[in-house]
Structure 1
Amino acid sequence: MRAPLLNLLLITSVAGASLAQAQTATPQTAAVSPEAIKQREQELEAARARQKSAEEAQAKLKVEITALGQDRTQLNQQLIETAANVRAVETKIDEAEARLRALNGREQQMRASLDSRRADIVEVLAALQRAGRRTPPALLVRPEDALQSLRTAMLLGAVVPELRGRAEKIAGELGELVALRKTIAIERDQLASDRDKVRNDQTRLTALVDERQRQQAAREKDLDAENSRAIALSKQVGDLQGLIAKMEQDLQSAARAAEKAAEAAKQAEAKAAAGANSSANSSAKSGPGAFKDKSRTTPAIAFASAKGLLPLPVNGNKIRDFGGSDGVGGVQKGISLATKPGSQVTTPCDGWVVYAGPFRSYGQLLILNAGGGYHVLIAGMERISVNIGQFVLTGEPVATMGSTSQVASILATNASQPVLYVEFRKDGTPIDPGPWWAANEGEKVRG
């Protein structure tokens, strides 16, 4: 019974290479078999079914959005919740991909270990073969088959202790490899499911954003002219502070937004003064619960009071921090986050859009007036989906990252990777945004 084991593990160590050669070999001239034709027909039918399902989903989504009508609160709720779902699934995908990289690396290590010990495996299997009395079974090439044969040989035959120990060690490694393969398969299935979900959520989010902008356009008849004038004005200034001043002075919608921000800041100060005698009431209004009202048209709380509450605007890794080197001998005035292509960008705070468009080396630039002399600048996106003068809520989707860096090399460490740049300003001076970010995911404001 032990005779086939010589073949089994030898085949295990070389089967992968043989299979790879077979898969990469280019067929000379082979006629299309009936099985291949049938498979293609099945693939075509599956594609048609997916298309039909997508069309039905689109029709259902259209009905849902139409039902929202002009209900701004419900639309905001749907926007923020869907954007949060997209961000959450993006995070799950990143984590799953990291786990898969580790698992695949472990599998390669195990395969390399078995291959490097081929001589020892041959010796063990040869000894088991000589001790066997039965004819070797059919050729087996999978680790599962080799593992089963080893176990059978050890159970049925009287093997010397030393040989048995070596065989058990090999069987243990094969068992670990089999279990690892099962884990990898489960992770890949979950990753595929998550990717399908994020695609569906992104489709829904796109439709919701289009509806929001359609309603905004209906209220602002001169949006196109305003946007064109904003871009023209941006070319007349050379720095960010000049751009902010130019927009809020010369552009009608940006000026209105700045006035509303100033008025909201005064009201917030008055409320804070009036509620100074009631610490419990003040605490409730300045915590995460303040962001629950989706019908608000002014910031939920004063920006200065939002420290420790705001979410980062995108999923990514921080590659440059405030106050660090900017790569050219200067000091970084904001933070830079390396993201994945197509990542969803949401607002880190409530505020009015005073600029949305291309600017200098920043790529697409979004500037929010958060009131109280605070401005939030977000740059490096490929597409912005809000307009100047628009009030946006914390966690609301406002832009999408591209596939490569849209900012100058001064802001990015890798030009092939999307990078989002975020800067906070108080009365025109860049400030450290660190105190405003939520300490962990559970404390982030999702709207």
Structure 2
Amino acid sequence: MRPARALLLILALAGAPAARAQTDPAEAARTAADALRAAGRSLDAAEGARDRVAALTETIRAYESGLAALREGMRRAAIREQSIALVLDARRAEIAQLLGALSALPQLPETLLLHPAGPLGTARAGMMLGDVTPALQAEADALRARLEEVALMRALQESAADTLAEGLAGAQRARTELSQAMSERRDLPRRFAADPDSLRALVESSDTLDGFAAGLAATATSTAPEGTLPQDFAALAGRLPLPVQGTVLRGFGAADAAGVARPGLVLATRPLALVTTPVPATIRYRGPLLDYGNVIVLEPAEGYLLVLAGLAEVYGAEGEVLPAGRPVGLMGGADPKTAAFLDDASDRGGDLKTETLYMELRRGGSPVDPEPWFAPTARDKD
């Protein structure tokens, strides 16, 4: 299966109606397992792909979507099992009486079914028993269905371990191969010849991100190769995808726990999440900066800078012009082991977003709220 087709399959599966996923956690988990297997096939296909970077990027996204879906499916399965167990426990005495009545009926001797009042009383007793028996059978059928569902949920969680282990291993292999492919790539167009000495001096002389970004924006550059950057970047406002699969943790100007407010968004992401450029852009800077960790500064159009900070690994070189969706780095952290992944799915509500990416958008040297620039589905996506 081609990587692009595999990714489309996973996105289609993930887009199933929410009501269906909530009422059928088993189906959601099976769908996620299918998505991981599709990602594995796309990883094999990426080996011989003409553009390995694009193929591996789509493969990693497929693994991220599949793992997130599997985690959510297992969370719902655990919740469903617990809810059924609570219902059964609350009706323990009633169920015991039901089972006792059902188990006693076939063993009653025929003489006990005769009423002391004679044939008329026996007939009336038989009619009453005929009315009661279907109700008892219905209760028994409902109890059996719940018990079978519990067994299904438990079997599902046990069988998920192998699929999950393969998915985690495949995602790690895809990330490793992507890093290698990025280091081997030399055919990207370049917008300008970066001056390492000037960049180093700018980094050393800047004591804030604001000062660095202002100095970078003031640096004169040559025009980009024709057709490589958006002609009207402002027209893309409201339609950009997030650079990483995650959720908005803190909005523009919101203060953190220490009371520090930053003019950007803080995105909560999963460990080792892939970070891509949401729009064609030139790499203006990549590397460590102040206390932000690894930073990559993208220029999507003249007068605009997109700052992504807090990455563990960054790709590319200053001056490279990247198409939209190309990888620019990886988040930090480490993939959890299979047992920890499954345990956390029920213990922590399925949330595993332990890393944070800081994103700042600047126009004319001043920061602007990035959130309105991104599509609502991207902002709200988990």
Q: Would you call these one fold, judging by a TM-score over 0.5?
A: yes
Task: Map Cα deviations across residues 268-327 of structure 1 (whole Å, 9 max, x no partner).
Answer: 8xxxxxxxxxxxxxxxxxxxxxxxxxxx6x314332232233210111121112243444
Quick one: structure 1 residues 132 and 229, their matched pair in 2 at CA, closer, same or farther if it must change by over 3 Å? farther
Structure 1: distance between partners of 2:130 and 2:176: 68
For the 8 Å contact 1:302–1:372, the answer to whether it is kept is: no
Equivalent residue runs for 1:239-278 within 5 Å: 239-246=208-215, 259-260=221-222, 263-264=223-224
1:434 is aligned with what amino acid?
E
The correspondence for 2:54, drawn from 71, 80, 103, is: 80
Task: Map Cα deviations across residues 333-388 of structure 1 (whole Å, 9 max, x no partner).
Answer: 11111111111111122222222122223222111122321000011211112222
TM-score (normalised: structure 1): 0.56
Quote the residue 2:139 is aligned against.
169
Quote the residue 1:285 is aligned against.
none
Structure 2: distance between partners of 1:219 and 1:372: 17
Quote the residue 2:183 is aligned against.
213
Structure 2: distance between partners of 1:356 and 1:176: 56
Quote the residue 2:372 is aligned against.
435
Quick one: structure 1 residues 321 and 218, their matched pair in 2 at CA, closer, same or farther if it must change by over 3 Å? closer
Give the SS at the match of 1:360.
Answer: coil
Quick one: structure 1 residues 194 and 129, their matched pair in 2 at CA, closer, same or farther if it must change by over 3 Å? closer
1:346 aligns with 2:320: no
Quote the residue 2:207 is aligned against.
238
Structure 1: distance between partners of 2:160 and 2:255: 40
For the 8 Å contact 2:252–2:264, the answer to whether it is kept is: yes
Quote the residue 1:71 is aligned against.
none
Using the TM superposition, give the Cα deviation of residue 240 of structure 1 relative to its aligned residue in structure 2, in angstroms. 1.5
Equivalent residue runs for 1:338-377 within 5 Å: 338-377=268-307
Equivalent residue runs for 1:139-154 within 5 Å: none
Structure 1: distance between partners of 2:71 and 2:353: 19
2:321 is aligned with what amino acid?
F
1:93 aligns with 2:67: yes
Structure 2: distance between partners of 1:159 and 1:106: 35
Using the TM superposition, give the Cα deviation of residue 390 of structure 1 relative to its aligned residue in structure 2, in angstroms. 2.2
TM-score (normalised: structure 2): 0.65
Q: Which runs of 5+ in 1 are unaligned?
A: 1-53, 69-74, 135-157, 250-254, 269-295, 405-413
Equivalent residue runs for 1:61-140 within 5 Å: 64=48, 68=50, 75=51, 78-133=52-107
Task: Map Cα deviations across residues 82-101 of structure 1 (whole Å, 9 max, x no partner).
Answer: 32342244223323322321
Structure 1: distance between partners of 2:80 and 2:46: 43
Structure 2: distance between partners of 1:403 and 1:215: 26
The correspondence for 1:378, drawn from 308, 312, 319, is: 308
Using the TM superposition, give the Cα deviation of residue 242 of structure 1 relative to its aligned residue in structure 2, in angstroms. 2.1
Quick one: structure 1 residues 191 and 129, their matched pair in 2 at CA, closer, same or farther if it must change by over 3 Å? closer
Quote the residue 1:398 is aligned against.
328
Quick one: structure 1 residues 130 and 439, their matched pair in 2 at CA, closer, same or farther if it must change by over 3 Å? closer
Structure 1: distance between partners of 2:373 and 2:243: 12
Structure 2: distance between partners of 1:218 and 1:96: 36
Between 236-245 and 321-330, report the one with greater CA deviation: 321-330
Structure 2: distance between partners of 1:234 and 1:415: 33
Quick one: structure 1 residues 340 and 360, their matched pair in 2 at CA, closer, same or farther if it must change by over 3 Å? same
Task: Map Cα deviations across residues 172-213 of structure 1 (whole Å, 9 max, x no partner).
Answer: 033134135436756876786477457546534543442332
1:242 is aligned with what amino acid?
G
Give the SS at the match of 2:238.
Answer: coil
Using the TM superposition, give the Cα deviation of residue 435 of structure 1 relative to its aligned residue in structure 2, in angstroms. 3.2
Percent identity for Structure 1 against Structure 2 = 27
Structure 2: distance between partners of 1:309 and 1:325: 27
Structure 1: distance between partners of 2:62 and 2:144: 36
Give the SS at the match of 1:425.
Answer: strand
For the 8 Å contact 2:275–2:331, the answer to whether it is kept is: yes
Equivalent residue runs for 1:8-27 within 5 Å: none
2:302 is aligned with what amino acid?
G
1:182 aligns with 2:119: no
For the 8 Å contact 1:231–1:358, the answer to whether it is kept is: no
1:424 aligns with 2:354: no
Give the SS at the match of 2:372.
Answer: helix
Give the SS at the match of 1:361.
Answer: coil
Using the TM superposition, give the Cα deviation of residue 124 of structure 1 relative to its aligned residue in structure 2, in angstroms. 2.5
* Count of aligned positions: 301
Quote the residue 2:173 is aligned against.
203
